[in-house]
Each structure stands twice: as structure tokens, then as C-alpha cells.
Structure 1
């Protein structure tokens, strides 16, 4: 695992739309190793919160940049803003982050409203199961870690809003999902990508908790479609989730295509 900091002179990677990029990692190896690294950062500096990239880092930057332009999230910059002044730009990035966090906290989306709202096929559910069997395949060659100056109650997705295309779950829907999974199942957002997101809990769920989680995922992805509700993958998922702390979820249409 090779790491470096964006604060160092001439970092080898651009921040792009990851305004609070703190560290980059090459050859991270696994999501389990990434989680351990983030937990070490949290332990060393508990006042900070961290969010990682996932899957295609460049596509994630592109879609996040557009998702930030959502009328509900966008905050116009002052007309006299000097974009060549790093102090002004940093202050503005913080204002925009805090604005997105406020908007997401007050957002209208509820878990019940999100259930069944994504177009899903049987092959998409196959991809969901495959991704949780081999979540490390979702790692890009380089992972960015953002260090976000957010309060503990603020949604981490404010630092990397995503869900840009009209057929995908948007940032407010994704926040509703994260909030429900945190409150009901103890999962916290770890990484946000262009098509997939990863969440983690302190310990793998036990049998009862894993079954309850799968029932929620079944409602989320399959509500309104009897064939999808009866998909065989739901029977296999509880045992799989009991072996790991990490849960990965697709949030875009055609998940199967985004997995291959």
C-alpha cells in the first residue's frame, strides 16, 4: 500500500471535484485493508470524519460534480470570488460543504419512499450478490480519502454527493438509505463511487441481524416486483453478510453492466 498526502508539494494526482481530498492510496489491496486504514485515521484524529472513493474515481468525480449542481444542494459563489486565492477557495469549499449537509439533513426523502424506486432486473440482483462476494473488485487503482470538517450528525455524502443521472438514486435518496442502515443495522458510509457505495459496521452482523438487513435490502431493491422479491439471491445473502463487516450496494440503473 503506497500512500501520500495532497498537502505535499506537487501531489501526483489532481483533487478534481474531491475538494477535501486528504490522502491518496495506491495498491490498497482490499476494502478490509481500506477500512482498517480509515479506522486508524479516525483513532488518531477523532475530530475528523473520512470518506473514500470507490469504483471509477474519474467518473465518480464527474458525476459528483454534476450532482452538486442539484438546485437543492447548489450554493452560488459570491460574485467577487477570487478563484486564484487558495484561502478564499478553501473558505468557499467549506461553506458549500456545510450548505449541502444542511440541505441533506432537511431533505424530503424517506426510506419508504426510496424502496422500489430504482429500476432493477434479476441480473442486477445477481450483480449485487456477486459484488458482496468480491467487493475488492470495486476498488480503483488509486483511492482518495477525503477528510471532511463535518459534525458527527452531518451526512458524509455531503462531501461527495452522487446520483446524477435521472434513473439513479440521487444524493437525497442515497442519504435516506445511509440513514436507515445506520439507525437500523449499524452501518456507516465508508466509500462513495460513481455506481457503487460501501458501508461498514463495527462487527459482522449475527444471523438475526443479517436476515433483518436482507429483508430491508429486499424491500429497497425489489418492492413492487414479485419475481425480484422471490429472487434466489436473497436466500444466499444473509450467510455471506455474516462473514464480513462491509456491505456494498449499487445505486444506479443497470447495475449488472456497471459491475462487469
Structure 2
């Protein structure tokens, strides 16, 4: 794995819509290796939070930029803002980050999970894609991965650092946050990577059989609560065994999950 820092002179990549981009990675061997790298950064620097990109970094940058402009998340810059002054820009980016975190915190409630369940339009092929992505999560890794170093408190929603869910048929940042909150409270999974269509969470140890089954029942409610045919899909029976082999869980948050999965193998 090749690594570099955005603070170095003339980095080969630009930050784009990742204002707190700290490090870039090339040739990441596996999702497990990415998780280990993020956890090592966290352990060495407990004063910051770390969030990685995942699939399709350019598209994720585009949609994250637009998602940040959601009226519930956006913060207007000062009218006298000098965008050529790095210090002013950095100060404003910090204020915008803190504003997004506050806005997301204000809607934390158990009811948010119930409101998200069944709200994504899916088909059986999307459930197949969810199963396949968890069987082969390494295929979601883009050629270049960014890691953001975020000055967020432990209680702040990590997605504030990389809001996503821009298109109207996809889950938005608030819905994704509700999912992260529920999975953390009920199953011990914490977000560590956000991509253009997929997100990755991890727990300290792989779930045992009972824990994996309980998780899958929640995922079945999340993705298929409004559709009996989807609830009966065979993929739900296969998923618990897959999840017991790994610490990570990958979830799609766009309506075209199957198409997005196919694009990773092109």
C-alpha cells in the first residue's frame, strides 16, 4: 500500500470536496487492511476522528458536495470571505463541519430508524448485490482512497465529515445517520468509510451466530419491510454466515444498488 499526506508539498491529488483530507492511499489490498489502517490512525491520535472514502471517490466527492448544500446542513459563508486566504477558508470549513454535526445530532431519536425502514426502492437483484458485496467487499475499494482527519467529538455523527445521499431516491445524510446510530446502539457497528453508493461499518469482533441473525433481521426490516417478496428473498438466509467471518459490514444506500455493484467489477 502506497501512502502520502496532503500536507506534503505538491501532493498528487487534490482535496476536492474532502476539506479535511489528511492522507491518500493507493493499492489498498483489502477492506480489512483499510480498517486496520484507520484504526491505527485513531489509536495514535484519539483527539481526532478518521473517516475513509470507499467506492468511486470522484462520484462520492460530487454527491457529497451537493449533500452538504442540503438546507438542513449548509452554512452560509461570510459575505466578506476571502477564499484566497487559506486561514479564513480553514476556519470556515471547521465552522461548517461543526454546524453539520449539530444539525445531525438534533434529529437523533429511535423513531428515525423506523422511518427509514422500507424507504428505499429495491428489487431482488439489489438484495443479491448486498449479499455479494459482503462476500467480496474488497471489490468496493477504489484505486485511490482518501482518509479525512476530523476535529469531531466522540458524540458527533461521523457522517458530518462526509455527508452523502444526494439524489432524491437515495437515503440522505440524515437517514444514513439514523442507520449508523441504530447499528451502533443495537449491534456495535461504527462507521469508518463512506463511498458514492456504499458505506462500511465495523464492530470490535465478528458477530456470533445469534448476533449475526439479529443483525440480518434488522437489515431485512431496513431494506425489505414494505415488500413481502423481498423479505422472503433467499439472500437473507445466506447473509448471517457471511457476516460471522468478518468485522465489517457494507451497506448500499442508493436505489440502484445492483447496478452500482456491477460497476465495481467492470
Q: Same fold (TM over 0.5)?
A: yes
> What is the aligned partner in structure 2 of residue 106 from structure 1?
106
Correspondent of 1:125 among 122, 127, 130: 127
Matched, 1:9 2:9: yes
Q: Using the alignment, how far apart are the partners of 1:74 and 1:44 within structure 2?
A: 31
Taking structure 1 as the reference length, the TM-score comes to 0.99
> What is the aligned partner in structure 2 of residue 70 from structure 1?
70
Matched, 1:85 2:85: yes
Q: List aligned pairs for 1:176-191, cutoff 5 A.
A: 176-191=178-193
Matched, 1:222 2:218: no
Correspondent of 1:232 among 212, 231, 234: 234
> What is the aligned partner in structure 2 of residue 200 from structure 1?
202
Cα distance, 1:107 vs. partner? Answer: 2.4
Taking structure 2 as the reference length, the TM-score comes to 0.97
Correspondent of 2:212 among 207, 210, 213: 210
> What is the aligned partner in structure 2 of residue 19 from structure 1?
19
Cα distance, 1:209 vs. partner? Answer: 0.6
Q: List aligned pairs for 1:124-143, cutoff 5 A.
A: 124-143=126-145
SS in structure 2 at match of 1:14:
coil
* CA offsets 1:49-96 (integer angstroms, 9 cap, x no match): 100001000000000000000000000000000000000000000000
Q: Please list every run of at least 4 consecutive aligned residues from structure 1 whose deviation after the TM superposition is greater than 2 angstroms.
A: none
Q: Using the alignment, how far apart are the partners of 2:86 and 2:247 within structure 1?
A: 39
> What is the aligned partner in structure 1 of residue 258 from structure 2?
256
SS in structure 1 at match of 2:76:
coil
Q: Using the alignment, how far apart are the partners of 1:130 and 1:28 within structure 2?
A: 20
Q: Using the alignment, how far apart are the partners of 2:4 and 2:104 within structure 1?
A: 31
Q: Using the alignment, how far apart are the partners of 1:67 and 1:204 within structure 2?
A: 32
Q: Using the alignment, how far apart are the partners of 1:74 and 1:254 within structure 2?
A: 26
Q: Using the alignment, how far apart are the partners of 2:54 and 2:35 within structure 1?
A: 12
Q: Using the alignment, how far apart are the partners of 2:44 and 2:194 within structure 1?
A: 23
Cα distance, 1:42 vs. partner? Answer: 1.0
Q: Using the alignment, how far apart are the partners of 2:134 and 2:221 within structure 1?
A: 18
Cα distance, 1:224 vs. partner? Answer: 1.2
Q: Using the alignment, how far apart are the partners of 1:117 and 1:151 within structure 2?
A: 30
Correspondent of 2:117 among 111, 115, 126: 115
> What is the aligned partner in structure 1 of residue 95 from structure 2?
95
* CA offsets 1:207-254 (integer angstroms, 9 cap, x no match): 111000000000000011000000000000011100000000000011
**For the aligned residues, what is the CA RMSD?**
0.7
Q: List aligned pairs for 1:13-52, cutoff 5 A.
A: 13-52=13-52
Matched, 1:158 2:160: yes
